[in-house]
Amino acid sequence: MITAVITSRWLRAILTGPLVALSTLLPTAAHADDNEPAEPAAPPKVELVLDVSGSMRAADIDGRTRISVAQQAFNEVVDALPDGTELGIRVLGATYQGKDKKKGCQDTQQIVPVAPVDRAAAKSAIAALRPTGFTPVGLALRGAAEDLGTGDASRRIILITDGEDTCAPPDPCDVARELAAKGTRLVVDTLGLAPDDTVRRQLLCIAAATGGTYASAQTPAELTDRIQQLVDRAKDTAVKPPAIVAGGKECAGAPLLAPGVYTDREKISEHRWYRVPVREDQELRASVSIALDRQVNPDYGVLLRATAADGRELVRGTDAGSGRTDVLSTGLRWSALEPDEESDPAADSTAPAHVCLVISNSFASSTAGDAPGMPFELTIDVVATSPAPDAPGLGRGWLLLLVLTIAGLLTGLLGGWLTRWWIATWRTN
């Protein structure tokens, strides 16, 4: 529920910010060579999920109902969308007028299919909305993901609501983790219309599970700052998402990875294995960042190890925390400067050996249940070995050392002779 009056200008800004920011997220094709022409970028796919539950009937925005202000703001958003954007609209709580919760919690429909934006059709669909029933946020998110489908295009859901889910299960946070675990490169941004703490926590959880953003309308200054952050984040977002990979349960048979950025998910206390080919004249560099998308118990950590194929540990990196944090990160470097003592001297020294990487965690949570693993990003690079410099030698210092030795000897002899002469002179007097 909205707890304060929000002007139509604010609501338009909330709606406009993330949608306009999406226009800068058009993915560009990877270049095999800088001289090759870029392939046409796939247009982004966006689904607006709008809460049309009964609370939107409240006439507390300059004497107008919340839904009427939302409709006006949405019309302006549609006019500002760049051509080619594929837009869909899904609503929740828009049709069932009864009090049967079981039926009301199934009340979510796609009213505009995901396709190149048809401004007239979108405005007409929004204009017909009338606030009605319950708030099945989790079910609506699951439906929106199905609406967007799969493929290489950027996919984004923008959830706009003034209250928390009233229909769980499915719990919206669990649905968000479920969607992220499918590896569909789907991001959910959440916008709360002046939410209370319960709604804020729920929307934050949904956004965090998918790598999205959360914003709320509390004051004009906060709203302006948040929209600016969205724009800046859109400009800095990598155009090529990490490759999706599934780690093995042991080194043998684990996926073989080339240098690059990868994403995977790991359950609590799980180990995920990968292999990387590394020659004796190369250095392996790897790092991992794991996001905490749920509440975990205090005292936790993440461990990244490199091992030989026979299980010998080569090097490790670790990070730990206790209390509030969002990401744990660690890394390692390893190179085989000396041939292995047991290796065959006749073997080809340029043939790469497979170094095993294993990612482990020490998280614990009483509420995790069967939730999907936590998302992490693995970065791998293999470069030419940079051996440590030899210990510094004396070099020309040998000559200086010889001079100092001779000078010390002569000084000692002269000092001894003068001492004996002085004693002899003193006794004769």
Dihedral angle at the C-alpha atoms of 257, 259, 264, 266, nearest 10 degrees? 80
CA separation for the pair 347, 361 (Å, rounded): 37
Helix (H, G, I), strand (E, B) or coil at 17: helix
Instruction: Using the predicted structure, report yes or no on whether residue 8 has a pLDDT greater than 70.
Output: no
Q: What is the pLDDT of residue 231?
A: 37
Q: What is the pLDDT of residue 403?
A: 81
CA separation for the pair 282, 312 (Å, rounded): 19
Joined together, the tokens standing for residue 207 give: 């956004």
Q: Tell me if the domain spanning 243-339+347-384 has CATH number 2.60.120.380.
A: yes
Q: What is the pLDDT of residue 405?
A: 85
pLDDT digits (tens, 9 = 90+) for 205-250: 888 888 787 877 554 445 345 544 543 443 344 456 678 899 999 9
pLDDT digits (tens, 9 = 90+) for 25-48: 333 333 333 344 444 456 667 888
Contacts of the segment 313-320: beta carbons below 8 A, 24+ positions apart: 314/355, 317/287, 320/362
Higher pLDDT, 62 or 280: 280
Q: What is the pLDDT of residue 81?
A: 67
Instruction: Using the predicted structure, report yes or no on whether residue 304 has a pLDDT greater than 70.
Output: yes
Q: What is the pLDDT of residue 233?
A: 47
The percentage of residues in the chain with a pLDDT greater than 70, rounded to a whole number, is 69
Beginning with the edge strand found earlier in the chain, give each strand of the sheet holding 260-266 in spatial order.
243-244, 260-266, 374-384, 282-291, 327-335
Give how far Cα 261 sits from Cα of 100, 224, 258, 396, Å: 49, 33, 9, 48
Worst-scoring range by mean pLDDT, 51-65, 79-93, 348-362? 51-65
Q: What is the pLDDT of residue 359?
A: 95
What is the residue whose two structure tokens read 């997220």?
Answer: 25
pLDDT digits (tens, 9 = 90+) for 324-355: 556 788 999 898 764 444 444 444 455 678 89
Q: Mean pLDDT over residues 157-174, rounded?
A: 85
Q: What is the pTM of this model?
A: 0.56
Instruction: Using the predicted structure, report yes or no on whether residue 4 has a pLDDT greater than 60.
Output: no
What stretch of H or E contains 315?
strand 313-321
CA separation for the pair 254, 65 (Å, rounded): 57
Nearest CA to 274 among 260, 294, 293? Answer: 260
Cα 378 to its chain centre, rounded Å, is 11
Higher pLDDT, 343 or 412: 412
The percentage of residues in the chain with a pLDDT greater than 90, rounded to a whole number, is 18
Contacts of 211 (CB under 8 A, 6+ apart): 180, 187, 291, 375
Domain ranges of the chain: 8-236, 243-339+347-384
Please tell me the CATH code under which domain 8-236 is placed: 3.40.50.410
Instruction: Using the predicted structure, report yes or no on whether residue 277 has a pLDDT greater than 90.
Output: yes
Q: What is the pLDDT of residue 355?
A: 94
Q: What is the pLDDT of residue 77?
A: 67
Q: What is the pLDDT of residue 315?
A: 92
Q: Mean pLDDT over residues 393-404, rounded?
A: 68
Q: What is the pLDDT of residue 350?
A: 58
